[in-house]
Amino acid sequence: MIREWNEESLDHRNALLYAMGVTEADAKRSVIGIVNSWNEMNPGHYAFKEVIQKIKDEIYNAGGYAVELPISGICDGMCSNTPGDRYTLPARDMVSSEVETVAELNGLEGMVMLGTCDKVVPGMIMGALRVNIPTVMMTGGFMAPGNIDGKMITLTHTKQAYASYIAGDISEEEYKQVVRNACPTPGACPFMGTANTMCATAEILGLSPHGNASVRCQSKEWNEMAKIVGKRIVELVKEEVKPRDIIKKENFENAVKYMMATGGSTNSILHIPAMARQADIEIIPEIFDDISRKIPVISTIYPNHPAYTMADFSMAGGLGAVMSELDKAGLVETSAKGMFGTLADKIALSDNKNTDVIHPVSSPIHEQGGLAVLSGNIATDSCIVKFSAVDKAVWKFRGPAKVYNSQDDAWNAILKDEIKAGDVVVIRYEGPKGSPGMPHMETFMAAVLGKGMGTKIALVSDGRFSGATGGLAIGHVSPEAYEGGNIAIIQDGDIIDIDIENRLLTVALTDKEIEDRKKNWKPVEKPSPGWLGLYKKNCTSAHRGATVYWNK
Q: Do 256 and 364 meet the contact criterion of CB atoms below 8 Å apart? A: no
**Residue 97, Cβ neighbours under 10 Å: how many?**
17
**Residue 79, Cβ neighbours under 10 Å: how many?**
17
Short-list 347, 156, 332, CA closest to 260: 332
Find the helix or strand (DSSP H, E) in which 138 lies: strand 135-138
Residue 444 φ/ψ, nearest 5 degrees: -65, -50
End-to-end CA, the chain: 27
- The ranges of the chain with pLDDT < 70 are 467-468, 552
Q: What CA–CA distance (Å, rounded) separates 56 from 45?
A: 18
Q: Are strands 495-499 and 396-404 parallel, antiparallel or unpaired?
A: antiparallel
- The pLDDT value recorded for residue 136 is 99
- The pLDDT value recorded for residue 466 is 78
Query: Angle, to 10 degrees, between the axis of helix 268-278 and the axis of helix 249-262?
Result: 170
CA dihedral 335, 339, 340, 342 (to 10 degrees): 0
- The pLDDT value recorded for residue 180 is 98
Q: What CA–CA distance (Å, rounded) separates 310 from 326?
A: 19
* Buried b or exposed e, range 384-397, using 16+ CB within 10 angstroms: bbbbbbbeeebbeb
User: What single-letter DSSP state applies at residue 144?
Assistant: P
- The pLDDT value recorded for residue 241 is 98
* Fold type of domain 7-145+184-349: Rossmann fold (3.40.50)
Q: What is the pTM of this model?
A: 0.97
3-class SS letters over 415-463: HCCCCCCCCEEEECCCCCCCCCCCCECHHHHHHHHHCCCCCCCEEEECC
- The pLDDT value recorded for residue 552 is 66
- 338 φψ region: left (φ > 0), alpha (ψ -120 to 50), beta (else): beta
Short-list 273, 347, 280, 283, CA closest to 317: 347
- State yes or no: is 375 an active-site residue: no
- The pLDDT value recorded for residue 467 is 67
- The pLDDT value recorded for residue 2 is 87
* Fold type of domain 371-544: Glucose Oxidase; domain 1 (3.50.30)
Domain boundaries, the chain: 7-145+184-349, 153-183, 371-544
3-class SS letters over 352-392: CCCCCCECCCCCCCECCCCCEEEECCCCCCEEEECHHHCCH
**Which entry of 406, 466, 478, 528 is annotated as an active-site residue?**
466
Express each pLDDT in 415-465 by its tens digit.
Answer: 999 999 999 999 999 999 999 999 999 889 989 988 999 999 999 999 998
3-class SS letters over 211-257: CHHHCECCCHHHHHHHHHHHHHHHHHHHHCCCHHHHCCHHHHHHHHH
Q: Are strands 110-114 and 382-385 parallel, antiparallel or unpaired?
A: unpaired
Q: What CA–CA distance (Å, rounded) separates 289 from 115?
A: 29
